């Protein structure tokens, strides 16, 4: 198991946050921490998720997020 | 000034929406009121789940989003099964639901349900529109994104008062916002070259054609590639009609209940070119077995599918048609056309031996599922659209029905939704009134959505339903037989439900047949006279679908029909 940071830019609405968390669940990743703040004058949110899981699942999540128009960008960073 | 819902309908027409399947209720009544004057066919269904499945059937034929609608609360929640089904099979469906007025939202008002929250895990995009000035834009966004990239379901939830609000009329063709209209990635040239090289070096390549080939319209490219490299084509269940099954290189569906020749082709391969498929365990068995001893090229529009189940040797992210076009063009520069692999003849001999054996078998009933379906190949027009429910009859159809036209096989493949067949057939017939549409159903599946017969009668949509009536949940019974020591529990039905009378009660002619001759006569007459009919075909309860690869096992551990010996034909092929 590895620790990852995923940085996500998402639309500013609760459904987008819910969808993001549902995808974390679908990817069978453990959530260690989440920081969400508004950006772009409130039009978007930026989220930093600290996740534990396999590299394969973390990569899957990063790509999968971009299938949905709730999310503008997603980056993955392996930290441990 | 105009009601926002009137502008919505206007924009829907502008985008080409001509058909809606749904049921009106308190919260979506303004939507139906706006439809009153619109040039849109709206079909009044008997249950919202059926509206969603009908929209799926429509979308599969038209290759554009099917629209379904329900009111708030139960009307919306009834849509969920259909939307999840559409998600699993990547079908573009747009659900338009009514919602309680904004002032009542969050108060547990009558018929209030958070349909956006309920569908979020399985939907591509869902939104509750709270600003009437955003309604048209949100529709365009949801409609576009349903068919952009990997298709899927979307949902537009509209509070009743939002629909009724008067707003400035702006009669323009609204474009989707950029986030909702992202073009698929262009094929990576380096990966194309790598893939072409691997194909040119492979001795026993196989093409695995999935549902993505249909959505991409890549049938010709798959055939062209196969013919150039002399490779056999096998398909997944969703990809069943992606290539004509009468083509000499096509071996049929692969997987748990796949054709033997198709499974053998995969087992024997040294390279599999997987096109538009998520490579589910049902199709290829355990990933580690599939990966062992062969190279894998995975072409998919959804980059998250690449490496999810199977680690490919080469990945090609992009639209199947575009990727294959470039791949074929490049291959033609680096290799000469190959003759058809001699292995294909051997694989086909195995398939023919299976067919011959099955045709020699008599079931406990006067008729058997496999003979009925084989017969239909000869009496139905080549462009017939076949839908199925879920269960044994679906697998028999997969094994014995020969699809000859793209998108002519419509089934619930990922979610496995019993009851899918009849409403999907309704949607398909609404989309293609000039084609013969046949729903091959099981009695268990049929009874889950049989109210669609009322719609068939009301709208005079001549659908032929053939029920493989074994008075049991056949596939569950088969698993109880094989894996639960024949402890049959809650699977068998009595004979008390008369399916012929049931159909007639809904206003659809019905007949029970006792022979293949009678079946042939009835089907031919229904096709010729273009009339709806329900045909009850008694089938033996003991029928079991073989071949079957037990769950979690590699294709080589396939169980053959009892009595079928293939050692002389497959001894040279690597099997268990």
User: What are the beta bridge partners of residue B153?
Assistant: B93
Chain B residues inside the 8 Å CB shell of A45: none
CB of A18 less than 8 A from some CB of B? yes
- Region B199-222: what's the mean pLDDT? 97
Q: At what angle do helices B135-146 and B4-14 cross, to 10 degrees?
A: 30
Q: What band does B576 get if pLDDT is binned at 50, 70 and 90?
A: very low
Q: How far is CA A51 from CA A1, A28, A34, A48, B305, in A?
A: 10, 10, 9, 10, 20
Same-domain status, B374 and B512: yes
Which of these ranges, B46-55, B153-162, B477-486, B564-573, has the smallest mean pLDDT?
A: B564-573
Distance from the Cα of B180 to chain A's closest Cα (Å) equals 6
The pLDDT tens digits for B82-125 are: 999 999 999 999 999 999 999 999 999 999 999 999 999 999 99
Q: Which of B202, B220, B344, B325 is nearest to B270 (CA)?
A: B202
Say which DSSP state B165 is in. Answer: -
| Residue-averaged pLDDT of chain A | 95
Say which DSSP state B275 is in. Answer: E
For the cut 80, the answer to whether the pLDDT of residue B377 exceeds it is: yes
Measured between CB atoms, which of B180, B302, B303 is closest to A69?
B180
Same-domain status, B409 and B373: yes
The domain ranges of chain A are 2-78
Burial of B174 (0-12, 13-18, 19+ CB in 10 A): middle
Distance from the Cα of A2 to chain B's closest Cα (Å) equals 17
Q: What is the rounded distance in angstroms from the CA atom of residue B415 to the CA atom of residue B390?
A: 10
Q: What is the 3 state secondary structure string of B393-420?
A: HHHHHHHHCCCCCCCCEECCCCCCCCCC
Which of B308, B311, B312, B315 to mutate to probe the A interface, most A CBs <10 Å? B308
pLDDT of residue A1: 85
For the cut 70, the answer to whether the pLDDT of residue B571 exceeds it is: no
The pLDDT tens digits for B330-374 are: 999 999 999 988 899 999 999 999 999 999 998 777 899 999 999
Share of chain B above pLDDT 70, in %: 99
Q: Which of B535, B548, B544 is nearest to B441 (CA)?
A: B535
Same-domain status, B216 and B137: no
Range list of H helices, B208-259: 211-216, 219-229
Those of residues 19-38 in A touching chain B at CB distance below 8 A are: 19, 22, 26
Q: What is the rounded distance in angstroms from the CA atom of residue B65 to the CA atom of residue B58?
A: 8
Number of structural domains chain B divides into: 3
Last residue of a domain, one of B154, B180, B206: B180
Last residue of a domain, one of B180, B212, B233: B180
The DSSP H or E segment spanning B468 is: strand B463-469
* Backbone phi and psi for residue A11, each to the nearest 5 degrees, phi listed first: -65, 150
Domain residues for B308?
Answer: 189-345
pLDDT of residue B170: 80
Whether B569 is in a domain gets the answer: no
User: What would you report as the CA-atom Rg of chain B, rounded to the nearest whole angstrom?
Assistant: 24
Say which DSSP state B514 is in. Answer: -
Class level of CATH domain A2-78: alpha beta
Q: Do B116 and A15 touch (CB under 8 A)?
A: yes
Q: What is the rounded distance in angstroms from the CA atom of residue B484 to the CA atom of residue B487?
A: 6
Q: What is the rounded distance in angstroms from the CA atom of residue B425 to the CA atom of residue B465?
A: 9
Same-domain status, B410 and B530: yes
For B2-71, give the DSSP string: EEHHHHHHHHHHHTT--EEEE---TTTHHHHHHHTTSS-EEEE-SSHHHHHHHHHHHHHHHSS-EEEEE-
Residues whose CB falls within 8 Å of the CB of residue B158, separated by 6 or more in sequence, listed in order: B5, B28, B31, B96, B97, B98, B99, B128, B129, B135
pLDDT of residue A73: 96
Distance from the Cα of B159 to chain A's closest Cα (Å) equals 17
Q: What is the rounded distance in angstroms from the CA atom of residue A7 to the CA atom of residue A62?
A: 9
- Region B461-478: what's the mean pLDDT? 97
For the cut 90, the answer to whether the pLDDT of residue B172 exceeds it is: no
- Region A22-51: what's the mean pLDDT? 96
Same-domain status, B160 and B223: no
For the cut 80, the answer to whether the pLDDT of residue B567 exceeds it is: no
Q: What is the rounded distance in angstroms from the CA atom of residue B323 to the CA atom of residue B213?
A: 11
Q: What band does B15 get if pLDDT is binned at 50, 70 and 90?
A: very high
What token pair was written down for B182?
């992202």
Q: Are B81 and B47 in contact (CB under 8 A)?
A: no
* Backbone phi and psi for residue B429, each to the nearest 5 degrees, phi listed first: -70, -35
Q: Are A36 and A23 in contact (CB under 8 A)?
A: no
Same-domain status, B169 and B266: no
Same-domain status, B412 and B534: yes
| Residue-averaged pLDDT of chain B | 95
For the cut 80, the answer to whether the pLDDT of residue B217 exceeds it is: yes
The pLDDT tens digits for B405-451 are: 999 999 999 999 999 999 999 999 999 999 999 999 999 999 999 99
Same-domain status, B389 and B520: yes
Q: What band does B523 get if pLDDT is binned at 50, 70 and 90?
A: very high
The DSSP H or E segment spanning A15 is: helix A14-26
Helix (H, G, I), strand (E, B) or coil at B544: coil
Say which DSSP state B363 is in. Answer: -
Residues whose CB falls within 8 Å of the CB of residue B518, separated by 6 or more in sequence, listed in order: none
The DSSP H or E segment spanning B519 is: helix B516-529
Same-domain status, B307 and B214: yes
For the cut 50, the answer to whether the pLDDT of residue B573 exceeds it is: no
Distance from the Cα of B307 to chain A's closest Cα (Å) equals 8
Provide the CATH number for the domain around residue B252: 3.40.50.1220
pLDDT of residue B206: 98
Same-domain status, B214 and B265: yes
CB of A75 less than 8 A from some CB of B? no
Q: Are B175 and B137 in contact (CB under 8 A)?
A: no
Residues whose CB falls within 8 Å of the CB of residue B101, separated by 6 or more in sequence, listed in order: B159, B160, B161
Measured distance between the N- and C-terminal CA atoms of chain B, rounded to whole angstroms: 73
Last residue of a domain, one of B163, B180, B197: B180
Q: Is the ipTM of this complex over 0.90?
A: yes
Whether B354 is in a domain gets the answer: no
Same-domain status, B41 and B173: yes
Q: What is the rounded distance in angstroms from the CA atom of residue A55 to the CA atom of residue A52?
A: 9
Q: What band does A39 get if pLDDT is binned at 50, 70 and 90?
A: very high
Distance from the Cα of B303 to chain A's closest Cα (Å) equals 6
Those of residues 36-65 in A touching chain B at CB distance below 8 A are: 56, 59-60, 63-64
Same-domain status, B236 and B322: yes
pLDDT of residue B169: 87
- Region B515-537: what's the mean pLDDT? 97
Whether B565 is in a domain gets the answer: no
Whether B351 is in a domain gets the answer: no
Q: What band does B187 get if pLDDT is binned at 50, 70 and 90?
A: confident
Helix (H, G, I), strand (E, B) or coil at B102: helix
Chain B residues inside the 8 Å CB shell of A8: none
């Amino acid at each position: 198991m590895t620790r990852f940071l995923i940085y996500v830019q998402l639309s500013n609405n609760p459904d987008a946050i819910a969808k993001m968390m549902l995808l974390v669940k679908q990817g069978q990743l453990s959530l260690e921490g989440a920081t969400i703040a508004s950006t772009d004058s409130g039009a978007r949110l930026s989220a930093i998720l600290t996740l534990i899981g396999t590299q394969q699942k973390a990569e899957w999540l990063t790509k999968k997020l971009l299938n949905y128009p709730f999310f503008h960008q997603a980056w993955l960073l392996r930290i441990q | 000034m105009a009601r926002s819902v009137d502008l919505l309908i206007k924009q829907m027409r502008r985008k080409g929406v001509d058909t809606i399947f749904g049921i009106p209720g308190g919260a979506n009544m303004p939507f139906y009121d706006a439809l009153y004057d619109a040039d849109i066919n709206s079909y009044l269904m008997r249950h919202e789940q059926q509206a969603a499945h009908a929209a799926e059937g429509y979308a599969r034929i038209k290759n554009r989003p099917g629209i379904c609608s329900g009111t708030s609360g139960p009307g919306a929640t009834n849509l969920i099964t259909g939307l999840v089904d559409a998600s699993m099979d990547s079908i573009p469906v747009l659900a338009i639901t009514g919602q309680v007025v904004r002032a009542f939202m969050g108060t547990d008002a009558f018929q209030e349900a958070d349909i956006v929250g309920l569908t979020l895990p399985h939907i591509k995009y869902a939104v509750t529109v709270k600003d009437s000035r955003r309604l048209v834009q949100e529709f365009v966004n949801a409609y576009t994104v349903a068919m952009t990239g990997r298709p899927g379901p979307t949902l537009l939830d509209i509070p009743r008062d939002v629909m009724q609000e008067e707003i400035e009329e702006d009669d323009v063709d609204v474009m989707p916002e950029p986030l909702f209209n992202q073009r698929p990635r262009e094929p990576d040239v380096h990966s194309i070259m790598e893939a072409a090289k691997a194909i040119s070096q492979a001795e026993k390549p196989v093409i695995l054609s999935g549902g993505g080939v249909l959505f991409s319209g890549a049938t010709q490219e798959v055939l062209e590639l196969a013919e150039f490299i002399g490779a056999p084509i096998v398909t997944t269940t969703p990809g069943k009609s992606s290539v004509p099954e009468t083509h000499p290189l096509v071996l049929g569906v692969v997987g748990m209940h796949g054709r033997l020749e198709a499974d053998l082709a995969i087992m024997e391969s040294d390279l599999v070119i997987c096109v538009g498929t998520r490579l589910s365990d049902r199709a290829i068995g355990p990933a580690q077995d599939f990966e062992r001893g062969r190279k894998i090229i995975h072409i998919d529009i959804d980059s998250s599918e690449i490496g999810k189940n199977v680690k490919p040797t080469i990945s090609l992210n992009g639209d199947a048609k575009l990727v294959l076009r470039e791949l074929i063009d490049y291959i033609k520069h680096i290799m000469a056309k190959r003759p058809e692999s001699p292995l294909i003849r051997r694989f086909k001999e195995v398939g023919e031996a299976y067919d011959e054996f099955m045709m020699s078998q008599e079931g406990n009933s006067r008729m058997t599922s496999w003979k009925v379906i084989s017969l239909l190949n000869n009496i139905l027009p080549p462009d017939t659209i076949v839908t199925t429910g879920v269960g044994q009859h679906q697998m028999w159809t997969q094994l014995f029905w020969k699809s000859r036209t793209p998108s002519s096989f419509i089934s619930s493949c990922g979610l496995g939704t019993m009851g899918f067949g009849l409403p999907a057939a309704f949607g398909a017939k609404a989309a293609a009134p000039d084609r013969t549409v046949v729903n091959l159903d099981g009695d268990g599946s049929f009874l889950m959505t049989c109210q669609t017969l009322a719609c068939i009668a009301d709208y005079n949509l001549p659908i032929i339903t053939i029920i493989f009536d074994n008075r049991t949940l056949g596939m569950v019974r088969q698993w109880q037989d094989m894996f639960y020591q024949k402890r049959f529990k809650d699977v068998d039905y009595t004979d008390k439900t008369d399916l012929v009378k049931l159909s007639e009660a809904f206003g659809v002619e019905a007949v029970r047949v006792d022979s293949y001759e009678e079946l042939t006569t009835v089907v031919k007459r229904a096709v010729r006279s273009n009339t709806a009919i329900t045909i009850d075909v008694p089938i033996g309860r003991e029928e079991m679908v073989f071949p079957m690869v037990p769950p979690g096992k590699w294709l080589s551990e396939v169980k053959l029909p009892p009595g079928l010996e293939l050692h002389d034909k497959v001894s040279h092929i690597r099997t268990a």
